[in-house]
Amino acid sequence: MANPVIMPRQGQSVESCILTEWKVQPGDTVAEGDVLAVIETDKASFDLESTASGTVLELFWEADDDVPVLANVIAIGAEGENIDDLRPATESASATALPATSSTPESSAVQSTVAADQSPASAPVDLSTTSHVPSSGVSPRARKKAMNLGVDAETLVGTGPGGRVIERDVDAFLAGTPRLSAAARVRAKEQGLEAPVRGSGIAGMALASDMRQPGAIEGAEVEPVKGIRKLIAERMMQSLQGTAQLTLHSSFDVTNCQKYRKKRLADGESKVSINDLIAQAILAALQNHPEMNAHFLGDRLAVFHEVNLGIAVDSPRGLMVPVVQEASKMSLEMLSSEIKKKAIACREGTIQPDDLSGGTFTLTNLGMLGVENFTPVLNVPEIAILGVGGISLKPKKNEEGEVSFVDQISLSLTIDHQAIDGAPAARFIQTLVNHLENHPGENPQKIEGEE
């Protein structure tokens, strides 16, 4: 009896996964535990492993399909077994014919008809997208001119009476498309390729070697936006379109933080980074300003008792934001250790989906890349995110009025103005800076509250 392999649930908040790459094809023999495909959530990538042994009978989805969790993905069994009852109910018609890898005349015809419907009748028509569009006849003059110039008049959209192709239709087509050689015309029809603005042949004729995929751009390598990159793009646009983002800028004197780090090493304690000290300072500031530790839900504002701190991580697969759960209960050593573990898991691709959700406040740091200031984008529905820049030498006046140059780090706090005003956000930054300059390394509960 054939067995299905289902799309596993990668965390409680994940409803679907993108199937980015198949590792097997129908007819392959697999064993339990073999990698069948690579799948992605909106945050991380995973291997889909086989839960059965046998022959791959059918792949129910194509690469880049968004597959619901718990849906059947593939059928494995003995050759010739019936698998009709295993096909997922939501399977698209195109997903049942995975082995096909080239365009057929029928599919080209459908694409050509759609392209023609979306274009004005009088516009120049691309041969590659209209290679099977029927016309209502071709005038003798248009046919003769088209033959002399290497154009198939039957592929043009006519603007004459009843859709008849007339001479001006040939001229309009040639205005936007070079003449095609015989081999180029074959490639255009059979492979759905298009010509560049000017070919490499005599008088700009397009040769077979000039033909390219539709949408190609001269001098550039064009790749589709997909997978995590596509999801990140969608999330960023949702964030900017659905929130009223305001960014406040400040900086702090890093002198005491540097002294504290050196003292820890001299005392034989574990090494901590400036980023760790900033993360702990966020926890201290949120104790005094809990209204910043919240989600804005349109008609509701959820203010959380504990801080689940998101840490933006640059991984090989794109931006990820692992969450340190209940960070507000941790000592500096625990916090530093958890941040390192989450970052390593993101970069190695072993982070779990549940570790990438549930944040209440986010920290993002580009200082190590030499960036002094930037405007972070909210990780909705959170109402605040803190951006950290690099160290720079800046003048500072002391109480006696003397000016000296000290190392300072810039801070950029983006808030959702729908949920919080500028003044309380500014007070949050004041508390944060005070902790970093005067109390680095102290646990949040040791800092007295502020009004």
Q: Is residue 404, in this structure, part of any structural domain at all? A: yes
Q: What is the pLDDT of residue 103?
A: 38
Work out the pLDDT band at 13, boundaries 50, 70, 90. low
pLDDT in tens, 394-441: 998 888 888 889 999 999 999 999 999 999 999 999 999 999 999 998
pLDDT in tens, 385-404: 999 999 999 998 888 888 88
pLDDT in tens, 97-136: 343 333 343 434 334 333 334 333 333 444 334 433 444 5
- One domain for residues 91 and 117: no
Cα–Cα dist 296/302, whole Å: 7
Q: What is the pLDDT of residue 376?
A: 96
- One domain for residues 109 and 62: no
- One domain for residues 42 and 159: no
Cα–Cα dist 149/133, whole Å: 20
Domain range for 15: 3-96
Q: Is residue 316, in this structure, part of any structural domain at all? A: yes
Selected residue with higher pLDDT from 76 and 63? 76
Q: Is residue 219, in this structure, part of any structural domain at all? A: no
User: How many domains, the chain?
Assistant: 3
Question: Percentage of the chain with pLDDT > 90?
Answer: 46
- One domain for residues 61 and 196: no
- One domain for residues 89 and 109: no
Cβ-contact 18, 65 below 8 angstroms: yes
- One domain for residues 187 and 239: no
pLDDT in tens, 41-71: 766 778 899 999 999 999 999 887 888 888 9
- One domain for residues 293 and 404: yes
- One domain for residues 383 and 296: yes
| Chosen domain end from 96, 123, 149 | 96
Tell me, what CATH number does 34's domain have?
Answer: 2.40.50.100
- One domain for residues 185 and 301: no
